[in-house]
Chain A
Amino acid sequence: MPRLATKKILTTVIIKTETLPVMAEHDVVKARQMVRQWASEIGLSLVDQTKIITAASELARNMVIYGGGGTMEIQSLEQYGRRGVKLVFEDKGPGIADITQALKDGFTTGSGMGLGLGGAKRLSNEFEIESTPGQGTRIMIARWK
């Protein structure tokens, strides 16, 4: 019985995957539209779709403003028998010096409101961030059905 369960947990099927360059403002709109399409395809509820699109919008804009542009990799997948959308935002910008501080609401080095990173985390089921100052930032978010 436990063995069977383990086997099931390891099953992750990638249904499809695509990468979108996000270099300028209009790419942020494109990213939102793409996430909407993929999220509705796998049957996420309207509220869940809105959450992941909003999170994607924040992270895509961050990449354009702070990271000098980057890429958004989008994946629809099936894990534990449920479907979800996973997004990976990657840039080769200056990186984030203090991630804990950057995740706090109200913290910003730019002119924004400082809600982007913390907000994107709250709007996702999974959130991972890696950043090396001088080398870039990689953020993964996922929302499950």
Chain B
Amino acid sequence: MMDRIPILRMGQFLLVTIQVDMHDRLALALQDDLTTKISETGATGVLIDISSLEIVDSFIGRMVANISAMSKILDAQTVIVGMQPAVAITLVELGLSLPGVRTALDVERGMALLQNPRVNMTSYAQAGDEENFDDSDNQN
């Protein structure tokens, strides 16, 4: 059972589409493969499409949060796209709100976010918490 989830490279981004019901070891392997690939390629962004994932439990959720944190340290942004509404509802009820993980509704929006993260940050700030937004980095 040495199957792995393929990682595609597109310009300076890495793309991952999870299309299988992941067992835990597969999730851990993806975490390792992605961090290796980021440092090999110098990718600045990672897009993970989870639209075919029917559930995200605490283990997979932790893997997603880990990938996000690790890639940030390696100077790459991670965006999770395509989460099914039922999965989002269940995740929050489970107690996982994935802080620090960037999400987008679909691949297109996710790519836009990776290509121009600033534009999006400005629009968040304009949405009403520019003061908090600027301070948050200093406080942490």
Q: Which residues of A contact B (CB under 8 A)?
A: 25-26, 28-29, 32-33, 36, 46-47, 49-51, 53-54, 57-58, 61, 105, 112-113, 115-116, 118-119, 122-123
* Of the residues A26, A28, A51, A119, contact of B58 by C-beta under 8 Å: A119
In the complex with contacts A46-B86, A61-B24, A36-B54 CB distance below 8 A? yes
Taking the complex as formed, is B111 at the interface, i.e. its CB lies under 8 A from any CB of chain A? no
B52-69: contact bitstring with A at CB < 8 Å (1 yes, 0 no)?
A: 001111110110000000
Q: How many chain-B residues does the 8 Å CB contact rule pick out?
A: 24
In the complex with contacts A50-B87, A122-B93, A122-B94, A57-B1 CB distance below 8 A? no
- Complexed CA–CA distance, A50 and B93 (Å): 11
| 16 A-B pairs whose Cβ atoms sit less than 8 Å apart in the complex | A29-B23, A47-B85, A47-B86, A50-B89, A50-B90, A51-B89, A54-B55, A58-B58, A61-B57, A112-B62, A113-B62, A113-B96, A115-B94, A119-B93, A119-B94, A122-B94
Q: Is the CB of B54 within 8 A of A115?
A: no
- Nearest-CB distance from A40 to chain B (Å)? 11
Q: 8 Å CB contacts to A: which residues of B31-82?
A: 54-59, 61-62
Residues of B within 8 A of A115 (CB): 58, 94-96
- Nearest-CB distance from A77 to chain B (Å)? 23
- Complexed CA–CA distance, A17 and B119 (Å): 54
A-B contact count (CB 8 A): 71
- Complexed CA–CA distance, A25 and B23 (Å): 7
- Complexed CA–CA distance, A57 and B54 (Å): 12
Taking the complex as formed, is B9 at the interface, i.e. its CB lies under 8 A from any CB of chain A? no
* Of the residues A25, A51, A112, contact of B93 by C-beta under 8 Å: A51
Taking the complex as formed, is B4 at the interface, i.e. its CB lies under 8 A from any CB of chain A? no
In the complex with contacts A54-B55, A112-B58, A113-B62, A47-B24 CB distance below 8 A? no
Taking the complex as formed, is B109 at the interface, i.e. its CB lies under 8 A from any CB of chain A? no
